[in-house]
Amino acid sequence: MNNRYFNDIYNDFFKVEKNEINVEKVKNNDDEINILDEINSIYIDNESKNLLKQIIEYMSKYTNNEEKNYIDFNIIIDSNDTENVNKISEILSKSVKNNHYIKNNSVYKLSMYELSNKVDIKDIYDKNGLVVLTDLKGFLLLDENNKKLFLYQLKNNLSNHITLLSGNKDDISLFTSFDNELTNKYFNFKLIEIIPDIQDIYHEVLSKISLDESNNILLLDYITNTHKDIINYSSYRDKLINYLSFKKEVPKIKEVKSTEEIFSELNDLVGLNDVKKVLYDLVNLISLKEKSDLKIANVNLHMLFLGNPGTGKTTVARCLSGILYNLGYIKENKLIEVSSKDLVAEYVGQTAIKTYSVIERALGGILFIDEAYSLSSKNNSYNDEAIATLIKAMEDNRDNLVVIFAGYTKEMQDFINSNSGIASRIGYTLNFKDYTVDELLEIFKGMVNKAGFKITNDALDKAKEIIIKNKNMKNFGNARFVRNMYEKTVTMHATNTKEKKRKDVLITITDKDINIDNVL
The CATH class for the domain spanning 259-424 reads alpha beta
Separation between Cα atoms, residue 428 and residue 430, nearest integer Å: 6
Instruction: Assign domain 3-192 to its CATH architecture.
Output: 3-Layer(aba) Sandwich (3.40)
Identify the pLDDT of residue 31: 57
Separation between Cα atoms, residue 226 and residue 221, nearest integer Å: 9
Identify the pLDDT of residue 379: 57
What is the DSSP code (8-state) at residue 251? P
Separation between Cα atoms, residue 490 and residue 444, nearest integer Å: 12
Whose CA is closest to 432, among 281, 268, 300, 271?
271
Whether the domain at 3-192 and the domain at 437-513 fall into the same CATH topology? no
83 with 77: CB under 8 angstroms? no
Identify the pLDDT of residue 388: 85
pLDDT band at 296 (very low <50, low <70, confident <90, very high): low
Identify the pLDDT of residue 255: 66
Name every residue whose Cβ is closer than 8 Å to that of residue 439 and which is 6 or more positions away in sequence: 270, 271
Looking at residues 254-261, what average pLDDT do you find?
A: 76
Separation between Cα atoms, residue 66 and residue 14, nearest integer Å: 11
Terminal Cα distance for the chain, rounded: 56
**How many other CB atoms sit within 10 Å of the CB of residue 7?**
13
By CB neighbour count within 10 A (0-12 exposed, 13-18 middle, 19+ buried), where does 88 fall? buried
Identify the pLDDT of residue 12: 52
Identify the pLDDT of residue 410: 86
Comparison of pLDDT for 472 and 3, the residue scoring more: 472
Identify the pLDDT of residue 293: 64
Identify the pLDDT of residue 27: 45
pTM: 0.67
165 with 187: CB under 8 angstroms? yes
**Residue 492 reports pLDDT greater than 80:** yes
pLDDT band at 340 (very low <50, low <70, confident <90, very high): confident
Looking at residues 414-429, what average pLDDT do you find?
A: 83
- 403 sits in the region (left: phi over 0; alpha: psi -120 to 50; else beta) called beta
Identify the pLDDT of residue 22: 46
Separation between Cα atoms, residue 449 and residue 227, nearest integer Å: 14
Specify the pairing of strand 402-407 against strand 366-369.
Answer: parallel
Separation between Cα atoms, residue 421 and residue 410, nearest integer Å: 19
Separation between Cα atoms, residue 102 and residue 96, nearest integer Å: 6
pLDDT tens-place string over residues 142-193: 888 889 999 999 999 999 999 999 998 888 998 999 988 888 888 989 999 9
**Residue 366 reports pLDDT greater than 90:** yes
Residue 335: phi and psi, rounded to 5, are -125, 115
Identify the pLDDT of residue 74: 93
By CB neighbour count within 10 A (0-12 exposed, 13-18 middle, 19+ buried), where does 316 fall? buried
pLDDT band at 515 (very low <50, low <70, confident <90, very high): confident
233-247 vs 198-208: helix crossing angle, rounded to 10: 40
pLDDT tens-place string over residues 223-236: 998 898 888 899 99
By CB neighbour count within 10 A (0-12 exposed, 13-18 middle, 19+ buried), where does 256 fall? exposed
Q: How many helices (H) and strands (E) does the chain have?
A: 22, 12
pLDDT tens-place string over residues 41-66: 899 999 999 999 999 999 999 999 99
**Residue 238 reports pLDDT greater than 90:** yes
Separation between Cα atoms, residue 492 and residue 514, nearest integer Å: 8
Element holding 430 (H helix, E strand): strand 428-432
Mean pLDDT of the chain: 85
> For the chain, which residues make up each domain, given as ranges?
3-192, 198-247, 259-424, 437-513
Per-residue DSSP letters for 466-484? HHHHHTTSTT--THHHHHH
The CATH classification of domain 437-513, taken from the options 3.90.110.10, 1.10.8.60, 1.10.20.10, 3.40.190.80: 1.10.8.60
Distance set, CA 354 to CA 334, 361, 369, 454 (Å):
20, 11, 14, 48
142 with 113: CB under 8 angstroms? no
pLDDT tens-place string over residues 387-418: 888 888 888 888 889 999 999 888 888 888 87
Looking at residues 375-381, what average pLDDT do you find?
A: 67
